[in-house]
């Protein structure tokens, strides 16, 4: 039974890698686009964390 589980996991991982590295009509893969836009995502996450921390500080009256 374990072999079937590992085959299913392997097939899922294989398809995930295929999906991430498959070229789109614009010539770039999803992985390339994500890596290009990573700095923007990090900046957005920092702004969200700062906003959230400000909200928590307000509620704690710090």
- Show me where the domains of the chain are located: 2-60
Cα separation, 19 vs 21, in Å, equals 6
4-58 residue pLDDT tens: 999 999 999 999 999 999 999 999 999 999 999 999 999 999 999 999 999 999 9
What's the gap between Cα 55 and its chain centre? 25
| pTM across the whole model | 0.58
Say yes or no to pLDDT of 62 above 80.
Answer: no
């Amino acid at each position: 039974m374990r072999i079937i589980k590992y085959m299913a996991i392997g097939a899922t991982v294989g398809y995930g890698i295929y999906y991430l590295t498959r070229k789109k009509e614009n010539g770039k893969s999803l992985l390339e686009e994500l890596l290009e836009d990573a700095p923007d995502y990090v900046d957005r996450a920092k702004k969200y964390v700062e906003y959230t921390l400000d909200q928590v500080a307000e509620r704690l009256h710090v």
